[in-house]
């Protein structure tokens, strides 16, 4: 029975220490949170209960045993109320069930008082166990009813929540429910002994379930609120193992030394203690490493997987140079290994100022695209905190007032609601930043785990490491891609340049050919123009000479005929014929003289660029001199010649003659009028840019159509006999035509007349020629 007693004690102490450690740990992780405090308090109570249980069993005196028994019942009385409170908080029903909790706390108060009355409990020594056990008193059932009732109530509440729960929450509650069932069933075995009911090994090993239970609940709470359960469990187990080792070493050493050393060697108790400590110091570190390895290997298989995963991933991603493949690999990798429903990579497009989806997997619709502005709150969070954004954390921050507490610093404020929104849009439960240097370059977007589990700290650490490694690989691949792209671009540019060069060469050749053709054409044109001019001249001369010549010839014929009919004909009888002949000979002379004069000038390049305005202005004084004689002064003369009008190509004197004639005709046409006005305006010919139109307008008496048709005829005049020669307008026409121009007239009786003169504009060649001549004459 000594063994039973010892194992009972040791197990109780073990449970107590472990539970206390867990309570402390959970409390230290989030001491401001009610649920953590409550759990810590509850675990502390369980731990103390376990400790008091051990102490009561250990007691050799009934008084001591009674004291420990009462104390352990203090704990047992506190437990139901605190536990119900804790569970209701956990499942979020506290506000609705407030009265139940208050009732239980009140019941707890009453029981605590009753605990110290003689009617509640006493202790009796049980020889078969070898220690004092609790003897229930008259009021003891009150406690048991409260205790068991609370448990049943918790079962009920948990179960009803469990039915409604979904996903990770459901899993959590299932876990919690089973653990509670197990833990309390084990714990309840302690009551059986009080009623002399013992079923080995349920008793004392039933208490082990309490330990498991506490650990499991701790696990649930930290995972539920996202704490690092791996660390907790490992630390708890390693601590428990070490404690067990210390106790064992101490016990074994004590036993051995007591039995062997002191008996045969006479060692004192002091030496025994020194040797024990020595053994502990020697064994502590190797045992600790051994335990850590053991827990890692059997309990934290995942951790091993993670390291393997990281290694695999690193090896894989460092080999891939193609950016697109790399993105797909990383996404594939995290989808498969993290067992997530969907995953994606967002990568920074610096020019555009946003993060865009480089690759995705598992999203509804393969075309799912997302663009996240680099001003988004999520980006600010990831950049500043340099840690993953996990949806449970974010939710927690929202509940605690949008603040993230940082040790020793002012809490950072973020709009966590916006972050949550963004993550929801991305269908993400976890966003892991990937930095290159200090710059946030990529974001690993992970969806919900297929298992429905939450992301643990361990997950986040591994993902963070993976993200940083992939950032480097992505950058390498990006640079490689860019280099290839640049090379291709250069090749492209080169080939384009080559192409452009060829085109240019071709164009150059074509231009040369075109130039040659143009020059030839120009030469041909000039030749043709010369021929045309000649032809026109010939036609003009032919006509102008032929007519007087015909008359002349007829005159001669008639004289000859007359002489034949009458050989005695006197000269004075045919004098008028001779006068006519002289007249026509003079006409031919004038035509020929004008022609030869112009031809000479034309040959010598005397057709020069002339300012029309200048011609007009120099002509006007000559007109006024002539009209003064005819008493025709006081006529308004207006010239409207635009300054940008091209120069006229021609012979100054001859053109002055033309305008002089026009002026004189106009003056005579306006004779006897009150308001006399001559208006000359000029513009470029809209139909032919190489010609200039000159409108010469008077407001004289005008003319009939009859007259108009004949006005340019040789010898035609409307003036009184002796006043007009009929030569003026005829010569005007002749001179203008010799210049390559045209003249016509529009008029109505009483409304004045407008002569339209077209003269060729000076060409660039004329200009050069003109300036050359001026230089030559200046020299």
Partner 1 sequence: MKKLLIVDDEVGIVEEVSSFFVEEGFDVKTADSGSDGIRMIDSFKPDLLILDIKLPDISGLEVLKHSKTASPGTKVIVVTGYVDQAIIDRAEELGRDAFLQKPFDLMLLYDEVERLAQAD
Give the residues lining the site for partner 1 (CB under 8 A): 538-539, 542-543, 545-555, 557-558, 561, 580, 584, 709-710, 712-716
Q: Among residues 171 and 758, whose Cβ is nearest to partner 1?
A: 758
By C-alpha distance, which of 47, 379, 87, 380 is closest to 224? 87
The least CB distance from residue 551 to partner 1, in Å, is: 4
Q: What gap in Å lies between CA 252 and CA 258, rounded to an integer?
A: 10
Alpha-carbon separation of residue 438 from 343, 371, 434, 435, 706 (angstroms): 24, 22, 10, 6, 101
The least CB distance from residue 716 to partner 1, in Å, is: 7
The least CB distance from residue 604 to partner 1, in Å, is: 28
Per-residue DSSP letter, 571: G
The least CB distance from residue 709 to partner 1, in Å, is: 5
- The encoded tokens of residue 206 equal 């039933």
Q: Count CB neighbours of 326 within 10 A.
A: 26
Q: Among residues 522 and 553, whose Cβ is nearest to partner 1?
A: 553
Length of the chain as a residue count: 779
Q: Among residues 202 and 554, whose Cβ is nearest to partner 1?
A: 554
- The encoded tokens of residue 166 equal 């979904």
Q: Among residues 580 and 613, whose Cβ is nearest to partner 1?
A: 580
Q: Among residues 451 and 713, whose Cβ is nearest to partner 1?
A: 713
588: left (phi over 0), alpha (psi -120 to 50) or beta: alpha
Q: Among residues 216 and 591, whose Cβ is nearest to partner 1?
A: 591
3-state secondary structure of 331: helix
Taken in order 647, 648, 649, 651, the sign of the CA dihedral is negative
The least CB distance from residue 727 to partner 1, in Å, is: 12
The least CB distance from residue 698 to partner 1, in Å, is: 21
- The encoded tokens of residue 716 equal 């035609």
The least CB distance from residue 715 to partner 1, in Å, is: 5
Q: Among residues 449 and 758, whose Cβ is nearest to partner 1?
A: 758
* CA 19 to chain CA centroid, nearest Å: 55
Q: Among residues 12 and 555, whose Cβ is nearest to partner 1?
A: 555
- Phi then psi dihedrals of residue 57, to 5 deg: -65, -35
673: left (phi over 0), alpha (psi -120 to 50) or beta: beta
Q: Among residues 268 and 744, whose Cβ is nearest to partner 1?
A: 744
- Phi then psi dihedrals of residue 444, to 5 deg: -85, 125
Q: Among residues 6 and 746, whose Cβ is nearest to partner 1?
A: 746
Taken in order 393, 397, 398, 399, the sign of the CA dihedral is positive
Q: Among residues 126 and 710, whose Cβ is nearest to partner 1?
A: 710
Under a CB-based contact definition with an 8 Å cutoff, are residues 766 and 650 in contact?
no
The least CB distance from residue 523 to partner 1, in Å, is: 26
Q: What gap in Å lies between CA 9 and CA 4, rounded to an integer?
A: 9
The least CB distance from residue 580 to partner 1, in Å, is: 7
Per-residue DSSP letter, 340: B
The least CB distance from residue 644 to partner 1, in Å, is: 36
By C-alpha distance, which of 140, 154, 37, 23 is closest to 88? 154
Q: Count CB neighbours of 423 within 10 A.
A: 20
The least CB distance from residue 743 to partner 1, in Å, is: 12
Q: What is the CA radius of gyration of the chain?
A: 62
Under a CB-based contact definition with an 8 Å cutoff, are residues 13 and 246 in contact?
no
Q: Among residues 369 and 546, whose Cβ is nearest to partner 1?
A: 546
The least CB distance from residue 725 to partner 1, in Å, is: 13
- Phi then psi dihedrals of residue 437, to 5 deg: 65, -125
Q: What gap in Å lies between CA 761 and CA 608, rounded to an integer?
A: 10
| Maximum Cα interatomic distance, the chain, rounded to a whole number of Å | 205
């Amino acid at each position: 029975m000594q063994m039973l007693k010892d194992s009972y004690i040791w197990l109780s102490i073990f449970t107590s220490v472990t539970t206390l450690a867990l309570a402390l740990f959970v409390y230290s992780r989030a001491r401001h949170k009610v649920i953590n405090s409550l759990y810590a308090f509850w675990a502390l109570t369980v731990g103390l209960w376990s400790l008091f249980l051990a102490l009561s069993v250990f007691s050799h005196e009934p008084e001591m045993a009674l004291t420990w028994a009462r104390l352990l019942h203090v704990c047992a009385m506190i437990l139901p109320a605190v536990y119900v409170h804790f569970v209701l908080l956990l499942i979020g029903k506290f506000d609705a069930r407030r009265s139940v909790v208050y009732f239980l706390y009140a019941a707890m108060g009453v029981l605590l008082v009753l605990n110290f009355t003689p009617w509640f409990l006493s202790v009796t020594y049980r020889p078969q166990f070898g220690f004092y056990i609790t003897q229930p008193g008259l009021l003891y059932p009150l406690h048991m009813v409260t205790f068991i009732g609370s448990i049943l109530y918790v079962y009920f509440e948990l179960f009803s929540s469990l039915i409604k729960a979904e996903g990770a929450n459901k899993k959590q509650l299932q876990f919690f429910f089973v653990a509670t069932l197990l833990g309390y069933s084990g714990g309840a075995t302690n009551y059986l002994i009080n009623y002399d009911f013992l079923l080995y090994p349920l008793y004392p090993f039933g208490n082990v379930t309490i330990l498991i239970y506490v650990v499991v609940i701790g696990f649930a709470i930290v995972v539920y609120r996202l704490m690092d359960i791996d660390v907790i469990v490992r630390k708890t187990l390693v601590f428990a193992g070490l404690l067990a080792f210390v106790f064992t070493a101490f016990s074994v050493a004590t036993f051995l030394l007591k039995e062997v050393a002191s008996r045969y060697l006479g060692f004192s108790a002091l030496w025994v203690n020194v040797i024990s400590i020595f053994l502990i110091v020697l064994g502590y570190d190797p045992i600790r490493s051994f335990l850590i390895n053991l827990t890692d290997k059997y309990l934290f298989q995942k951790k091993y997987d993670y390291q393997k995963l990281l290694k695999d991933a690193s090896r894989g991603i460092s080999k891939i140079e193609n950016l697109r493949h790399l993105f797909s690999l990383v996404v594939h990798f995290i989808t498969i290994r993290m067992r997530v429903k969907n995953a994606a990579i967002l990568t920074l497009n610096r020019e555009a100022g946003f993060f865009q989806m480089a690759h995705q997997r598992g999203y509804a619709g393969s075309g799912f695209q997302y663009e996240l502005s680099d001003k988004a709150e999520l980006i600010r969070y990831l950049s500043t905190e340099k840690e993953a954004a996990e949806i449970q954390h974010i939710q927690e921050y929202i509940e605690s007032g949008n603040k993230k507490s940082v040790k020793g610093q002012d809490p950072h404020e973020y709009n966590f609601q916006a972050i949550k929104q963004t993550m929801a849009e991305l269908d993400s439960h976890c966003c892991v930043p990937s930095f290159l240097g200090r710059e946030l370059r990529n974001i690993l977007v992970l969806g919900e785990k297929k298992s429905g589990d939450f992301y643990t700290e361990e997950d986040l650490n591994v993902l963070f490491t993976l993200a940083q490694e992939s950032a480097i690989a992505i950058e390498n691949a990006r640079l490689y891609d860019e280099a290839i792209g640049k090379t291709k671009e250069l090749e492209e540019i080169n080939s384009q340049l080559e192409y452009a060069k060829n085109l240019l060469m071709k164009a150059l050749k074509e231009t040369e050919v075109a130039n040659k053709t143009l020059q030839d054409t120009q030469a041909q044109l000039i030749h043709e123009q010369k021929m045309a001019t000649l032809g026109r001249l010939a036609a003009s001369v032919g006509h102008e000479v032929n007519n007087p010549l015909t008359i002349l010839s007829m005159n001669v014929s008639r004289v000859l005929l007359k002489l034949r009919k009458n050989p005695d004909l006197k000269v004075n009888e045919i004098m008028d014929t001779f006068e006519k002949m002289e007249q026509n000979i003079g006409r031919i002379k004038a035509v020929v003289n004008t022609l030869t004069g112009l031809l000479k000038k034309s040959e010598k390049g005397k057709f020069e660029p002339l300012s029309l305005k200048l011609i007009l202005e120099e002509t006007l004084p000559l007109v006024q001199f002539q009209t003064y004689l005819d008493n025709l002064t006081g006529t308004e003369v207006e010239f409207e010649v635009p300054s940008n009008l091209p120069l006229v190509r021609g012979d100054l004197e001859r053109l002055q003659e033309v305008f002089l004639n026009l002026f004189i005709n106009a003056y005579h046409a306006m004779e006897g009028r009150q308001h006399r006005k001559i208006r000359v305006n000029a513009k470029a010919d809209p139909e032919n840019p190489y010609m200039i139109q000159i409108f010469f307008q008077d407001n004289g008496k005008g003319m009939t159509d009859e007259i108009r048709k004949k006005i340019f005829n040789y010898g035609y005049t409307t003036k009184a006999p002796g006043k007009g020669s009929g030569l003026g307008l005829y010569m005007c026409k002749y001179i203008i035509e010799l210049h390559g121009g045209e003249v016509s007239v529009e008029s109505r009786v009483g409304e004045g007349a407008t002569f339209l003169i077209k003269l060729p504009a000076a060409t660039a060649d004329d200009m050069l020629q003109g300036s050359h001549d001026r230089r030559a004459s200046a020299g």
